[in-house]
Amino acid sequence: MTPPPQLEGTQESWLPAPAALTSRPPSPTPRLHTWPSLAGSPLSCHRCNGTGLTCTGPLVPCAPLQDACFTLTSETHIGGTPGKVDTFKGCTARTLCPPRSSTLSAGAGMRLRGGSVCCSHDGCNRGAVKLPLAPGVLTGRWCPGCAVEGPACKPRERVPCRDHEDQCLYVAGAIHVGSYNYSYALRGCGTRNHPGNQHLLP
C-alpha cells in the first residue's frame, strides 16, 4: 500500500507544487505532520484532491492533534497559458490553517492565487471555496523572483508586484508519495497574509 502523501519543507506552505514544475504524479492531497495520541474520538474530514473548483472524497479520521478540516483551492498561471485549478481537502492543525485568500506573482511568469477555509466538526469541509480576484494592476514595486524544481532558488529576475501584493516572499517545500520525492522553491511578490519567509517592501 502506498503511504499517504506528506507536505513539508524549509518553509511549510499551503501552496501545492506548481503544476508547471512537475508532471508526475498527480497533485497529492497535503497531509500535515502527526503527533502523539490524545484521548477522545478523532475528528473526521473529507479527503481528496482533484482538478477544478471542488473534489469529492471519503470521510477519514484525522491524526491526533489535527483538530481542523480544510478545503484549499489554487489556480496557477504560467505566462499566457490558461490557469490550472486544483482543490485539496483533508485534516490539519487549526494553528496551521492556510490563509483564506492569497496571491503570489513569482519568477518564470508564474502567478498563483488561492482560497481556503478551515472548520472543526465532522465532515464540515464538504463544499467549495471561492478564489480571490486575480491581481491585475501593476504597482511599480518589484521583488526578486525565481521558480524551480528543487529545494532552493536564487533570484534570477525582477518580478513586478500587482494590487495588494506588498510582500517579497520565498516559499519552498517538498512532497513525498511512496518512493517519489519532489521539491520546489518560489520567490516573488505576495499578499500580506501569505505564509512563508517574508519581509515588507520598502
* Domain region containing 131: 6-200
CATH number at residue 60: 2.10.60.10
pLDDT of residue 174 exceeding 70:
yes
161 within a domain of the structure (yes/no) = yes
1 falls within a domain: no
The pLDDT of residue 103: 92
Rg of the chain over CA atoms, in angstroms?
17
Could you say which DSSP state residue 179 is in?
T
Q: Does a structural domain hold residue 113?
A: yes
What does the pLDDT read at residue 32? Answer: 38
pLDDT at 135 over 90: no
Distance of CA 124 to the CA centre of its chain: 20
Residue predicted with more confidence, 22 or 182: 182
> Would 181 be classed as within a structural domain?
yes
Q: How many domains does the chain have?
A: 1
